[in-house]
């Protein structure tokens, strides 16, 4: 999971029951004060049936005072008691309840991912019923809307433009949570843009028990995430542009090269030509020669995010997507050797974690000014920053037309998107 930061178990849970050890003893004074003056972002509102109940109670109360009828007074007291009981049961429903937010897996633009909400009921005797959870995800920095020339945007238009970058969802709890039990809910979300984002649980609400009151509890459950660039389709012509050395590059994996990698025990199906007779005689069992694999077409990805080279935002996004997709495809075929960003040192790619780190950098990548760029020559002359001593094909990227992006190797076009 490409979550930016991790949370400790003590701070992971949110809600009324998240810090049971810090909870003060319950008194009637504190209970009444909480009901009259709820905490910040805790809202209680009447629903349509609740408004109808209030109007009916006011009508019956007026008739009771005008007629001095005991039956009407009893009816009024029952209606008010029903409303009061609804508030008390709603308060008990949220008592000792806690929740936490967990993004699952890697986030990629245009691909659906899961966000789980774990709900825990800390009450000993009472279950919890009928909850809903409102979630939202948005970029860490919402892009500013385009302003037409000679015109100022109104606040309504600014808010509407910002709302386009926010994805909202709602999860309904359709089963009760037993005392001491835990329930996990899943929310599928599809991020629209790459970059740093955040997913948050905005509020938890309930209509329990009678539907007269709508109670919402604002939460502080928030998780920062990284959204990788989207995978795209591209045209590959790498066979024409790549060059091969006279001798292959020795790698640390088994293959059919000329360099001896190791000796191993004979297994059924191995070729008898690969038996190392001298080692077999010395060890008393058949030993097989295992050769190192050769790679003639290793590639190095070099991305230059210069602002003067990529003036169009849509082309820059396409650049990040193409660089990420090429890295994954070349790594899957064993041909990705290293990557370089902004003219920096070549970083060798050995494992999947290195590719994920490259995708994390592409997710954070922004166009930079010319003065902020480090020259390739200066970066590679640093200590420990020398290029790999292998037969590498350096892939660079450049705009192609008004919308496309092309990848070049040694001046030859290799891929385009």
> CA 327 to CA 50: how far, in whole Å?
59
Alpha-helical (H) ranges within 365-414 are: 376-380
Question: CB within 8 A of 17, min separation 6: which ones?
Answer: 95, 96, 97, 98, 120, 121, 122, 123
Nearest by Cα to 301 from 240, 344, 332: 344
Using one digit for the tens of pLDDT, what is the confidence trace for 143-173?
777 777 777 777 887 778 788 888 999 999 9
What are the structural domains of the chain?
Answer: 41-228 (2.60.40.10), 260-291 (no CATH), 296-380+387-416 (no CATH)
Residue 55 has pLDDT above 70, yes or no: yes
In the beta sheet, which residues pair with residue 236? 415
Using one digit for the tens of pLDDT, what is the confidence trace for 207-241?
999 999 999 998 888 999 999 999 999 998 865 55
Handedness of CA 45, 47, 49, 54 (dihedral sign): positive
Containing H/E element for 226? Answer: strand 213-228
- The Cβ of residue 116 has, within 10 Å, a number of other Cβ atoms equal to 14
| pTM for the model | 0.74
Q: Are 98 and 15 in contact (CB under 8 A)?
A: yes
Using one digit for the tens of pLDDT, what is the confidence trace for 85-116?
988 898 899 989 999 999 998 999 989 999 99
CA 184-185-188 angle, to 5 degrees, is: 140
> CA 185 to CA 99: how far, in whole Å?
11
Containing H/E element for 193? Answer: none
Radius of gyration of the chain (CA): 32
């Amino acid at each position: 999971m490409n979550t930016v930061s991790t949370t400790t178990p003590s701070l992971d849970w949110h809600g009324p029951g998240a810090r049971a050890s810090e909870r003060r003893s319950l008194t009637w004074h504190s209970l009444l004060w909480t009901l009259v003056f709820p905490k910040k972002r805790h809202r209680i509102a009447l629903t349509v049936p609740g408004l109808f109940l209030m109007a009916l109670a006011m009508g019956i109360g007026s008739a009771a005072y005008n007629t001095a009828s005991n039956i009407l007074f009893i009816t009024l007291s029952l209606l008010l008691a029903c409303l009061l009981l609804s508030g008390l049961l709603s308060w008990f429903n949220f008592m000792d309840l806690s929740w936490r937010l967990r993004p699952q897996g890697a986030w990629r633009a245009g691909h659906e991912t899961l966000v789980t909400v774990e709900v825990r009921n800390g009450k000993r005797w009472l279950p919890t019923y009928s909850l809903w959870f409102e979630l939202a995800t948005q970029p860490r920095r919402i892009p500013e809307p385009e302003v037409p020339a000679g015109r100022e945007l109104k606040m309504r238009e600014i808010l509407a433009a910002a709302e386009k970058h926010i994805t909202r969802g709602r999860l309904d709890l359709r089963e009760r949570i037993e005392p001491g039990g835990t329930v996990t809910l899943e929310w599928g979300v599809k991020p629209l843009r790459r970059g740093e984002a955040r997913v948050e649980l905005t509020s938890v609400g309930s209509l329990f028990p009678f539907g007269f009151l709508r109670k919402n509890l604002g939460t502080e459950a928030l998780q920062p995430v990284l959204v990788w660039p989207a995978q795209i389709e591209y045209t590959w012509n790498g066979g024409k542009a790549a060059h091969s050395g006279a001798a292959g590059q020795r790698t640390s994996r088994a293959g059919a090269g000329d360099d001896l990698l190791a000796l191993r025990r004979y297994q059924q199906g191995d070729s008898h030509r690969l038996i190392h007779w001298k080692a077999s005689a010395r060890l008393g069992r058949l030993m097989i020669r295992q050769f190192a694999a050769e790679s003639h077409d290793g590639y190095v990805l070099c991305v230059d995010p210069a602002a003067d080279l990529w003036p169009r935002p849509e082309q820059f996004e396409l650049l990040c997507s193409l660089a990420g997709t090429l890295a994954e495809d070349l790594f899957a075929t064993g041909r990705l050797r290293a990557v370089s960003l902004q003219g920096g040192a070549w970083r060798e790619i050995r494992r999947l974690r290195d590719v994920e780190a490259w995708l994390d950098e592409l997710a954070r990548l922004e166009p930079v000014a010319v003065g902020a760029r480090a020259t390739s020559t200066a970066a590679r002359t640093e200590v420990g920053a020398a290029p790999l001593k292998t037969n590498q094909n350096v892939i660079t990227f450049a705009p192609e037309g008004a919308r496309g992006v092309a990848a070049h190797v040694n001046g030859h076009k290799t891929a385009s998107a």
